[in-house]
Chain A
């Protein structure tokens, strides 16, 4: 069965950089899209971006373009979400999730990584 296991919670200060990971197993990593979804405390879900590790096709939601960077490493079946300069407003839970097609539902999800940004 497909599994997505995310890295642990992070506490950072404004202006710091951060890279969180999503380690996958149980499926062909290069044949699925990996999406990142944000959930701020007590709020709903926001689509951020997605990557197709097979050819490194990357698509950002316009509001997240330039704010975050996503990447994938096919050799270890892992996807990444990173920030170069965190803001307090980046405090949220971040989920990675798998989708079979560029237009498809998110059928398997990671457990989430809580990122807290506070001075």
Chain B
């Protein structure tokens, strides 16, 4: 299985700041099949980004995704209060796996 390692484990920022969350894959991710999800306490995850950089329906354009080799990044350009949550990356090739998550908390 492809192992996804997310960093940092916790990111403390203030509203209005820029957030960069990392997801490193242990091997090549097939066809850019990498997604990002947001999960708030007591809720199901919500799809934000798929195919590395395509925003899902209804997702604000302050969320963006990118890739450099086996390193994937979710960037939130200007944090809004509702963005503080846990973020998971997922590769969804033949045997899907998730990263362990990054908690984005208010500083």
A-to-B contact residues, CB < 8 Å: 35, 43-47, 61, 95, 97, 99, 103-107, 109-112
Contact = CB atoms under 8 A, between A and B. Distances in A.
Contacts of B44: 95, 97, 109-112
Q: Looking at chain B's contact residues, is the secondary structure mostly helix, strand, loop, or mixed?
A: loop
Contact of B45 (A61, A104, A109): A109
Contact of B93 (A35, A46, A99, A103): A103
Given A44-B100, A45-B98, A107-B56, A95 B45 contact: yes
Interface of B: 30-31, 33, 35, 37, 43-47, 50-51, 56, 88, 90, 92-101
A45 B98 CA distance: 6
Contacts of B90: 45, 105-106
Most buried by A among B44, B51, B94, B98: B44
Contact of A103 (B30, B45, B97): B30
A62 to B, nearest CB: 8
Contacts of B98: 44-47
